[in-house]
Each structure stands twice: as structure tokens, then as C-alpha cells.
Amino acid sequence: MAVAETSLTRQKQVLIGSVLIAGLCSIIYELLISTTASYFLGDSVRQFSLTIGIYMAAMGLGSWLSRWIKGDLLAAFIGVELVLGVVGGLCVPFMYLAYAYTDLIQPVMVLLIVLVGTLTGLEVPLLTRILEHQDALARNLSNVLSLDYLGALLATLAFPFLVVPFMGVFQSSLVFGLLNIALGLLNLWYFSPQLNISRKRVLGWSGFTVTAFLMVMLVFSKGLLDHWSSSLYSDRVVHRQQTPYQTIVLTQYKDDLRLFLNGNLQFSSVDEYRYHESLVHTPMSQHPHPTRVLLLGAGDGLAVRELLKYPAVEEIVLVDLDPSVVELAANDARLLALNKGSLHNDRVTIVSRDAMVYLDGNRELFDVIIADLPDPNNVSIARLYSREFYRLVRHNLSPDGIFTTQATSPYFATKAFWSIVSSLDAAGFEAVTPYHVLVPSFGDWGFVYASAQDRALMPRPIDVATRYLDKSVVEEALTFEKDLQSAKDIQVSSLDRPVVHEYYLDGWSYWH
């Protein structure tokens, strides 16, 4: 009798432990799906909202469907874990394929969420029914749900700090799929005496087959990612790196070196000088004696290269969230040749921090602040184009300080561009002046100049060596054609309502 009770207790422990792992894996899958969708489609709020809503509804569907499962509940539970491991393990590879070769990434995303959610919804009712002969229903349900929620907590903590930084989304998908399958095989082995021979064979062969398949994919994941990257980018991929914040890709065709962050072009070496000269020398030509300059973003070192042309500049502080970008720019031979080793200059101080956090905590004023930040294609970045952010910029400027930001394309995203202008106006700057230039790899590109004093942007001689920018270019840059001028009812973007993000997505949706 004691032996039988001990056996039942161990069985219960195995099943309850399975709930913990199953809960962890299913939440990881949902985080992977929504994160991957955010990488490819932008608008992280929309992707995560869709994921959560559809996932919860699908779990409800799975719970409802569980009532139709009769007979061998253990075999059904093991089968669910094996199928969930396959679907979850392949969720990111499927999304990569859908993005690279079709226009169906959103439907594929929804289908994967429904499958994962439905299979997850089957788990808790099945386990509760399996355990019902050992404890009262209320106690079983509380045990199962407690461990399931604990697994979800562990998943949400591990995902940003361990999973993505060390494995990236592609490998993480495969690893947790294998973990899910291992969970099913563990239960198959432990409860083998209670299963009939035919079901054991089917489940066993199925489990080992899908394990072998996912293992092969994991071993060759680097090659698969390289092949996928090559199909996604028109030029040869020479560097690919997943960081906790983004995917960094360098491509090269002859002399054209290009940097992409999360699939978005940051520069082309063929014409980047047009962009960086317009960004840097336009504000620098307006200040009588700039000695301290703050760069927000610009981790590639190209804006720093331009600033180092000014002997009067004593200190350049570069604030970039992702240290991996700065490390790559400071050590990669191709980027070093392009930025001329600017990040190793003694006048440059590098800070790895969020731009808004840095500005909020900084107490030393700057003569010139330049924002070379990614476009506001998600809400997290859109806050760096808000009225509140620009107020922080204003507080970090000296009394005669000048600020300039890149402001996406006034042609492709007209409303987003003018919203940035309006937000700077609302932030309390005395003079705000938009300007734009042609950067062939980008198209018509916009910038906004803002001054702490009533000093509008005026065409002035550029006193350092340039390849493109001069007084006449600045003069032309101040003129906006009729179809690029501000539309009516353009709203200020704020932290509470980041309309610049909505404007940006609406503008670019026609072209992407």
C-alpha cells in the first residue's frame, strides 16, 4: 500500500512539474511570435496586442475542445506536448520563410498563435482530469494553475534577459520546441507501463523523429539564417548579429556597404556623406563656438567622423542604447575605413544608455545636440520624437544651444515629418526650421533644426571640408515643394498619444 501511494505521489510530481515546463514554453512561443512580427512589421503595440488577444481566445477554444477527448488521457497529453513542441519550435522559422518569400506573414502569425493557444488550452483540462483520481478537483485545479502561472512568470523574466540576448529568436524557437518535445518524451517514458503498446510506439517514433528534425535545424541554424538573410537582402550579407535590442546586418556589393537594423536601412556607404553632412554641419554652422556636442544614436561613428572636423569641439558624448552597434563600428575593418576610426578618438565619450533616460539624468549642458535615431516605426522609438522628449533636449542645451534631428522622409511620410516639426514647436524652442535633402538610397530625407534662442536656420558658409554640403545646398534645403508642405490638422506627438508613430506607419504603408 505504501509503495502504491509513493508511486502515485511521484506520478503526481511528474505531471505537476510538466505543467511548469509547459506553461513556460507556451508563453515563450507567444513572445517569440510577437517579437518576430515586431521585427518584420514594426508597430510592436499592435503585434503584442494581437498576440495576447488571439492567444487567450485560442486557449479558451482548446479548453472547450478538451471535453471531446475521451479514453487514454495520458496519451492525449503526451501527444499534445509533442505537437506543441513542433509548432512552437518551428514558429519563428515559419515566420522567417513567410516574410522572405510571401506576403502572408500576418496570416501565418495569426495561424501560429491559434495553434499554440489551442494546444496550450488543452493542457490544463487534460492534466486536471488525469489527476482527479488523486485529489479533489479544487486542489488539482489550484495546483495545476499555480504551476502554469509560475511557468509563465519564469518565461517572461527569462525572455528579455536570457533567451533573446544569448540565442536570438530563431534558435530560441528551436530550443524551446525541443524542450517541449523532451517533456512529452519524459512523460512517455515515465508512464510507459500505463500506455498500450501501439500508442507507445506511435508516440515514441513521432517524438524521436521530430526531435531529430529540430536538432538538425538547430545545428544548421546559422547556415539557415545566412541563407534567409541572403534571400531577404539584395546584396551579400557579410555580418549578421542578434543583440538584446535588434538584429544587425551588414551587406556589401562592390563598394556599397550597407547597415540594416531590424531590416531597416541605416546607411549606404555610397551616399551616406550626404545624410551625415546635412545632419551635422547644418547645426554646427549656426553656432558661434560649439565646444560640447551630444549625439543621440549615431553608434556607427559616421556623425562623429563629421564632428571631429571641428578643432574647437572639445568633447563629443555619444549615447546609444545598443553597445553592440558601437562595438561593431569600432572594430569592424569595413566600418572603421568608413568612419575613419572616429570612435577611438580621445574627444569621444561613449555611453550605452537609452537617450531619454540619459537626458533625464544629465546635469551638464551641451552647445549642440544631434539626434540620429531610428525612424519612429514602433512606440518605443516614437517616444524619442515626442514633445516631452524634446523638452528634455531643451533642458540639456546651453542658453544659445542648437538641436537637430533626422525626421524621416517628408515625401514618403509627410504627416510624420510635420508632426515632428509641430512637436518641437510645442516643446518650447524659440525657432524651429525644417529642411530636406536628397539621399539617393533613402530618397527625399528630412531634418528639423531647433534653437533655444530666436535664431532661425540661415544658409551660412560651411567652414570644414565636405563632399556635398555648402551654403547653396542649405539654401535649397529650406524650400519645400507644394506636395511636401504641411497638411492641416497635424497633431503634436506626445508620450500619451504617439501620433508620429501612426503617421509614420500610414505614410510608409503605401510604399512597403
Name the DSSP class of 487.
P
Number of neighbours of residue 466 by Cβ within 10 angstroms: 18
Spatial separation of the C-alpha atoms in residues 417 and 423, rounded to whole Å: 10
Q: Hey, what amino acid is at 252?
A: Q
Kindly state the helix (H) or strand (E) to which residue 315 belongs, with its residue range.
strand 315-319
* Secondary structure of residue 175 in the 3-state scheme: helix
For residue 420, which of 326, 328, 492 has the smallest C-alpha distance? 492
Look up 135 and say whether it is catalytic.
no
> What is the signed CA dihedral for 232, 235, 239, 242, rounded to 10 degrees?
-20
Contacts of 319 (CB under 8 A, 6+ apart): 294, 295, 296, 297, 351, 353, 355, 358
Spatial separation of the C-alpha atoms in residues 330 and 320, rounded to whole Å: 13
Strands 443-451 and 256-261, sheet pairing: unpaired
Beta carbons of 326 and 320 less than 8 angstroms apart? yes
- 372, 425, 444, 463: the active-site residue: 372
Q: Hey, what amino acid is at 23?
A: G
Q: In what order do the strands lie in the sheet with 247-253?
A: 236-242, 247-253, 256-261, 264-268
Beta carbons of 274 and 282 less than 8 angstroms apart? no
137, 412, 506 from 62: Cα distances, Å: 19, 44, 36
In the numeric block, which cell numbers belong to residue 434? 525644417
Beta partners for 170? Answer: none
159, 306, 367, 393, 403 from 293: Cα distances, Å: 36, 12, 6, 12, 10
Number of neighbours of residue 194 by Cβ within 10 angstroms: 11
- What is the per-residue DSSP string for 229-297? HHHHSSSEEEEEEE-SS-EEEEEEETTEEEEEETTEEEEETTTHHHHHHHHHHHHHTTSSS--EEEEEE
Look at the alpha carbons of 344, 347, 350, 355 in this order and tell me if their dihedral is positive or negative.
negative
Phi and psi at residue 297, to the nearest 5°: 85, -145
* Secondary structure of residue 214 in the 3-state scheme: helix
Name residue, grid cell 562592390. 254
Beta carbons of 26 and 84 less than 8 angstroms apart? yes
Distance of CA 498 to the CA centre of its chain: 18
Catalytic residues: 372
